[in-house]
Structure 1
Amino acid sequence: MKYLYLIRHGKSSWADDSLRDHARPLNHRGLKQLAPMSKVVRAAGVLNGPIFCSDAARARQTLDGLIPEDLRQNTQVDPALYTFNYRTLIDWLRAREDEDSITLIGHNPALEELADYLLKQGPESFPTAAVMQIALPVKHWHKLARHKGRLEQFLTPRDVSYEQFNRNRKKVPGSKDTPLTRHIPEALQHQYQRMRDLETGVIRGFDDEFLHQYRIAIRRSRAIAESISEIHSDTELRKASKTLKKHAQATSELRDLHVFLADLEQWQLREGAGVALVSSGARSYFANLADAEQQALAKRLTGKKYRRDMERWHQLISSRHFKKITRKLTSGDIRKALDKRIKQYDILAQQLSEQAPDEDFHRLRKRLKRIRYLAELDKPAFGEMLRQLKYRQQKFGDFQDLHVQLSMLARFRDSIATEPDMLESVAGLNSLIQDLESEKSSVRDEILTIGDIDGHPVL
């Protein structure tokens, strides 16, 4: 079995008309594409074999941006690869020796047409900076044949970088001055399409921002459905919101690990804690947990049940019934539901004390989210309330993150506590845990003094 990696150069510049095609460099966007694709190149196995690059300026810049200089020992610049004819590439490959894998960095249409030749059905297009891996069932490169290859991987900058994905993003229907009640079906259609578009990035797992944005889209959709079902007591919407909730909850563990690993980088700068985190292997331990959770989530999002649930959700928000009930919503309906939720929240908030368990704060945090989501159905009417809720929600979120992180650290500490060579690491972890407990206590005090939503302090 042979493996062929095809890499198209990054987006090139046409700004200077005096330059020959061979001398054209990458433009700003082309340079921005390379950093995220560098992760792909290493993860895909490109570095396992020789890398051959066209001698065009844009191709050589792509090579430089994808592969660090210290890992570039097995690379060659070959003028023969500056071609737009796929037959030239086929002849070049057939003349190769017995390398198990070969990487070509070159140009379209040659690369795209080469893929079409080797695969029964190649991708519809080959965007700039994309990476394609093809498995070829041959022992020798001279045995290459039409349509015998198998596509193993195909990744574009949009699949692995949220920044690249989000270019030219369509805006949500309506505006900040238009009540959401007037365009709920359109807004949910937008969120649905956004979820589906984000799925590839979530499944690939190269950029944490995909998961963050996916969670926003699915939780916002669920919140709108839940809010409308509360106002209209609609059974179908209630069922649908519960289904969306389950899929959103399935992302929580990975999200917590992403936040934890990001904060761990900062904790390692602290005196004492940094040494303990390194010597105990905490970074590797939690990174492995995140990898396992990433694989589980990817399996879920590619499963039949998830696809069926998404199709049912799309059918519901596209139905006449849904459009009919949303057209009836008024600010008065939302105000009535809000008053009920705010009253329940304030009662619980006034019962909080310094001795209250963390679960009481978590319960209030969830109620606060539901209040905000309801108010967002008519932002022009409840704009001031939404501004006040944002600060509250941030504090509750900080408290919840610290609660989860302390739980993770304590479990890890306990797992290594009985190992004789980990005594100093355990002591360092205990010091970090104490610091985080102090931070959590400060956030708890801030929440207790915020007061209920009507403005009365809790203490």
Structure 2
Amino acid sequence: MKELYLLRHAKASRASGGMEDCHRPLSRRGRRQVAAMAQALQRLGALDGEIHVSTSTRTRQTLLGLDEQLPASSLAGRTRYTQALQTFDWKQLRKWLMALPSDCDSVILIGHNPALTGLARWLCRQAPADLPTGGLLSLSLPVEGWQDLRKHRADRVARLTPSETSHALFRKQAPRAPDLDRARTDKRVLGLLIHQYRMVRALEPGVVAGFDPEFLHQYRVNLRRSRAIVESVGAIIRVPGLGKVLKRLKHRARATSDLRDLDVFLETLGQEPPSLSEQTLKTVHDWLEHQGRERHAALCHAMAQPCYARDMAKWQRFLSNKGLRRALREVTPEEVEAVLTERVLRHDADLAALTDDSPDASLHELRKTVKRIRYLAELDPERHRTFLAGLKQRQSLLGEFQDLCTRQTWIRAFSASMPDTGPPGGVEKECLDWLDSLEARKAKLHRAVIALDPLQEAPPLS
């Protein structure tokens, strides 16, 4: 079995003056693409074997950029620059590839398009026809030697692009939010729902790639915002099919919960423990990463199933249904305001009922109510600008409490996973101390929540 990685050079500047094409350097965007792909290439093992690079300036700088991002890998010292790879003809690449020695099992080739995609499509019928700058195609080839390559014989092909490894790069080409500041209520609601659907679909490749946790976060946010808006519409007016769509949105959002919690925990782990030993911290980190990999694999499996595609198609049809548009035209700002007021009153009643002995679940429900209030108020952000600003601190406080509870759950699960070694001590004792420190922080936040003013005493809704 041979592994072949085809990496297109990162984005290059345009030729200026009498500059030849082969001398074009990387642009600023190209350097960002290299930085975004470096860790992904390393995790995929694409840089473990032989490294062959075209002699053009942009391919050289792509390799040197990777070397700068991964200093421990010594890429520059292992790289071979080859004039034959400076070609746009895939047949020339095939000829070069088939001349490689048989004892070379893994190769990455940094070169040019359309030669790279042409070679990939000769090797695999399913290979994509396009490859953006900085993008990678990886293929598994069931051959003993490179000279044995045959048309459409690859077992597997996968594509990875910089905008799938970096949410910052994705954001520059993401669907743009519509300008709805002065739109009628029905136009605003429908515009927001359509935009959130488009964002969910656009974020999917980054979620599946799994290199930047921000993709999952934004994917989850857009699912939950859509759910909240649909729930709000359902509280105002009857819409055919709304219940089924709401059920699917809840299911898809719920499937991301554990993985998102793990991502947040891992991001803050270095600052979290009160006094964990270096060995225990590493053990906890490795265990959390393993849990994250398992849940990411489960999420990717679920997203690859036909039922996921059907759910997305039904969601899209619901948004384009004339019945939804007719129903939304009957929604008035006054009706939205009435539902918002009712939710604020419910929040204030729940807040007033809190005591020092209230269970954690009471604060979790309060947090959910605040989020539903916010999403509803955001249907008319100009009208509720001051009110929304006042919600931020409240939501942040409740969100921090929720995060601490979630971390306690994971710490208990980690502790339970450790082998029973006799009397309490070592890792178990450290985890118990950790849980106690989190409980003390929760108690402080609990008191802060109880001390909050009712929302009805906040700035007026309109």
Structure 1: distance between partners of 2:92 and 2:15: 29
Structure 1 residue aligned with 2:4 = 4
Q: 1:150-206 deviations in whole A, cap 9, x for unaligned? A: 442111112222112111333322333445533322321221111111111111211
Describe the shift of the 1:54–1:228 C-alpha distance in structure 2 as closer, same or farther (beyond 3 A).
Answer: same
Structure 1 residue aligned with 2:242 = 237
Contact 1:178 / 1:380 at 8 angstroms: preserved in 2?
A: no
Structure 1 residue aligned with 2:389 = 387
Structure 2 residue aligned with 1:246 = 251
Contact 1:51 / 1:76 at 8 angstroms: preserved in 2?
A: yes
Describe the shift of the 1:56–1:69 C-alpha distance in structure 2 as closer, same or farther (beyond 3 A).
Answer: farther
Structure 1: distance between partners of 2:121 and 2:419: 57
Which residue among 159, 172, 177 is the counterpart of 1:172? 177
| Partner AA of 1:100 in structure 2 | D
Alignment of 1:97 with 2:97, yes or no, is no
Alignment of 1:77 with 2:77, yes or no, is no
Structure 1 residue aligned with 2:202 = 197
Structure 2 residue aligned with 1:183 = 188
Unaligned runs of 5+ residues in structure 1 are: none
- How much does 1:55 deviate? 2.1
| Partner AA of 1:255 in structure 2 | R
1:265 counterpart SS class: helix
Tell me whether 345-354 or 433-442 shows the greater mean CA deviation: 433-442
1:377 counterpart SS class: coil
Structure 2: distance between partners of 1:328 and 1:174: 22
Structure 2 residue aligned with 1:39 = 39
Contact 2:174 / 2:202 at 8 angstroms: preserved in 1?
A: no
| Partner AA of 1:317 in structure 2 | L
Structure 2 residue aligned with 1:369 = 371
- Alignment map for 1:331-342 (pairs within 5 Å): 331-342=333-344
Describe the shift of the 1:341–1:237 C-alpha distance in structure 2 as closer, same or farther (beyond 3 A).
Answer: same
| Partner AA of 1:183 in structure 2 | R
Structure 2 residue aligned with 1:263 = 268
TM-score (norm 1): 0.92
Structure 2: distance between partners of 1:177 and 1:448: 37
Structure 2 residue aligned with 1:430 = 432
- How much does 1:420 deviate? 5.5
Describe the shift of the 1:437–1:332 C-alpha distance in structure 2 as closer, same or farther (beyond 3 A).
Answer: same
Q: 1:194-234 deviations in whole A, cap 9, x for unaligned? A: 11111111112111011011011111111111111110133
Contact 1:179 / 1:377 at 8 angstroms: preserved in 2?
A: no
Structure 2: distance between partners of 1:242 and 1:187: 19
Alignment of 1:304 with 2:306, yes or no, is yes
Describe the shift of the 1:325–1:305 C-alpha distance in structure 2 as closer, same or farther (beyond 3 A).
Answer: same
C-alpha RMSD of the superposition: 2.2
Structure 1 residue aligned with 2:409 = 407
Structure 1 residue aligned with 2:456 = 454
Structure 2: distance between partners of 1:421 and 1:289: 27
Structure 1 residue aligned with 2:280 = 277
Structure 1 residue aligned with 2:50 = 50
Q: How many residues align?
A: 453
Alignment of 1:286 with 2:288, yes or no, is yes
Contact 2:98 / 2:147 at 8 angstroms: preserved in 1?
A: yes
Contact 2:5 / 2:139 at 8 angstroms: preserved in 1?
A: yes
Structure 2: distance between partners of 1:391 and 1:61: 46
Describe the shift of the 1:168–1:416 C-alpha distance in structure 2 as closer, same or farther (beyond 3 A).
Answer: closer
Structure 1 residue aligned with 2:17 = 17
Structure 2: distance between partners of 1:87 and 1:411: 55
| Partner AA of 2:96 in structure 1 | W
Structure 2 residue aligned with 1:322 = 324
Contact 1:11 / 1:26 at 8 angstroms: preserved in 2?
A: yes
- How much does 1:308 deviate? 1.2
Structure 2: distance between partners of 1:15 and 1:180: 50
TM-score (norm 2): 0.92
Contact 1:273 / 1:431 at 8 angstroms: preserved in 2?
A: no
Q: 1:354-411 deviations in whole A, cap 9, x for unaligned? A: 1111011011111111112222222222222222222211111111001111221133
Structure 2: distance between partners of 1:141 and 1:297: 36
Structure 2: distance between partners of 1:26 and 1:315: 43
Unaligned runs of 5+ residues in structure 2 are: none
Tell me whether 248-257 or 162-171 shows the greater mean CA deviation: 162-171
2:235 counterpart SS class: helix
Structure 1: distance between partners of 2:271 and 2:308: 36
- How much does 1:322 deviate? 0.2
1:183 counterpart SS class: helix
Describe the shift of the 1:173–1:69 C-alpha distance in structure 2 as closer, same or farther (beyond 3 A).
Answer: closer
Describe the shift of the 1:176–1:274 C-alpha distance in structure 2 as closer, same or farther (beyond 3 A).
Answer: farther
Tell me whether 197-206 or 32-41 shows the greater mean CA deviation: 32-41
Structure 1: distance between partners of 2:83 and 2:388: 60
Structure 2: distance between partners of 1:148 and 1:169: 35
Contact 2:141 / 2:153 at 8 angstroms: preserved in 1?
A: yes
Tell me whether 190-199 or 144-153 shows the greater mean CA deviation: 144-153
1:103 counterpart SS class: strand
- How much does 1:115 deviate? 2.0
Alignment of 1:156 with 2:161, yes or no, is yes
Describe the shift of the 1:159–1:211 C-alpha distance in structure 2 as closer, same or farther (beyond 3 A).
Answer: same
Structure 2 residue aligned with 1:108 = 113
- How much does 1:241 deviate? 1.2
2:379 counterpart SS class: helix
Q: 1:225-253 deviations in whole A, cap 9, x for unaligned? A: 11111101335212311221111011111
Structure 1: distance between partners of 2:339 and 2:28: 50
